[in-house]
Each structure stands twice: as structure tokens, then as C-alpha cells.
Structure 1
């Protein structure tokens, strides 16, 4: 039973992350083609960034209520986790693609299969919203717990 739980919990967590990413992508496409079609690109990015921040705050707030944890502690830890997800998932995808390309080159007899890609984080509205939320919440957490650090 324990082995089954050790396998299922990360699998469910990864599936939830992919579902949220897929749902956010479809929602953004829907908003861009319908409601935000006549809005300028700058205001569209501002609206989507604000929606991202509000959605992440809602998820963190629900998490703190569900697990009966302090809202500030959930905000700091949740924003760090979201920041890690936004940065680490694309980073490791790039690493995996580079490793596969190198392995294919090695096993194909040295045939050139393309260059190695360099990881660069794109600043689209969801990433920018997560970075803003993380920066503000970590700053608030440090300011709130400053007497404990001194």
C-alpha cells in the first residue's frame, strides 16, 4: 500500500500541474480570441498578468484554508513553489531535449542533429504574474518575520 501511495501521489500532482497549465493555456486563447480581441496588446498583458496573480492568490488561499495553515506562511511557501514550477519545469525540459539530442547524435554515428538549445525564460503574462506575486510575497514574509531574523 505504501509503495502504491509513493507512486500515485507524485503522479496525481504532476497530472494536476499539467491540467492547470493546459486549462490556463486554453483560457488565455479563449480570452484573446473573444473578450480581449479589441484590447491593445499592452492592456491584454496587464489583464492576463492580473488574472494570473489573482488565480494564484485564490489557490494559495484555498490551500491555507484546507490545511488550516496561516495565510502568510502559505503565501510565502506557495509563491516559492509556484516560482520553482515556472522556472524549473521549462529548465528541465530544455535539459532533457539537449540530452536526447546528444544521445541521438552519439547513437546515430555522429550525424549532426542540431545545436544545443540555451535555456531562456520567456516573460509571458503568467510567468510575469508569478514573478511579481513571488517577489511581493517573499518581501512581505521577510518584512513580517524580520524580528526573528535579527
Structure 2
């Protein structure tokens, strides 16, 4: 494969992986050396890659990091700094901005449910007219987009 360049954008990486028959997970974004098992990360990356691939190119898809994976004395300082900068505990994992509207998705592994902060934010989003979905797979994300009336460029894809 010498001379072949790896696609750079998330949309291109997902498309190349999909066309090659690879798994849905865009594993090139995997964190190396992680010790604990990350059940939601692969699901999150596959949903993110799929959204970027199938939504119109004008759509903005964003992940808001709201977890800090540190240990020891540095964690308290990092959490305090993040909160001062506006991090909201329980904020949804993915935001989609399209045509003047925002939609949010909370990614969960099978068997996991919203924690109390996430449930309160879900209610707050819905009270403010912002569609919210809990997604555990690309199929869940597909169903949420359909429910919200968002068209995709998914024609011909399984």
C-alpha cells in the first residue's frame, strides 16, 4: 500500500473504512495505552463518523468533552478549571447544528442509562425545544435523525 495516503477528514476516513468493508468504528482515533475498558468510546466514534459521513456537508457535528480522565492531585485542578471555563456536568456527547437548529445525542453502551445530571439536562433540552436522543448504535442515531425529520445522504448504504 505504499504511496496511498490516509484520508484526512472524519467523513473521508469513515467512507474509506466503510467502502473497504471494515468495522464501523473509526479506530484510528483510539487512545493508546488506556488501561480500563472503554465500552462507549467505539460506539461514540462509529456514530460520530457515520453522522459526519451522512449529514449534509453544512452540518456541524461536535463532541463536547466533559469527562476528565486523570488520577491523583491533578484531577481536582483540571475539574475546577473545566468548570470555570463552562463545562456542564452531564452535557450530551454529540451536538449537531444544522439549518439554524441544534440536536443533541447522548451515547450509551448497552445496559447503561442516563445518570441524574444527564436526565436533568435531557429534560432541560426538551423544555427548550432542543431534540435529545440516547443512542447506543448507528441504528439508534439513524432513528433519531428520522424522528427529527433530518435527511441524510445515506442512499444505498446498509
- Shared fold by TM > 0.5? no
TM-score, normalised on structure 2?
0.25
Which structure has more strand as a fraction of its residues?
A: 2
More helix by share: 1
* Rg larger for: 1
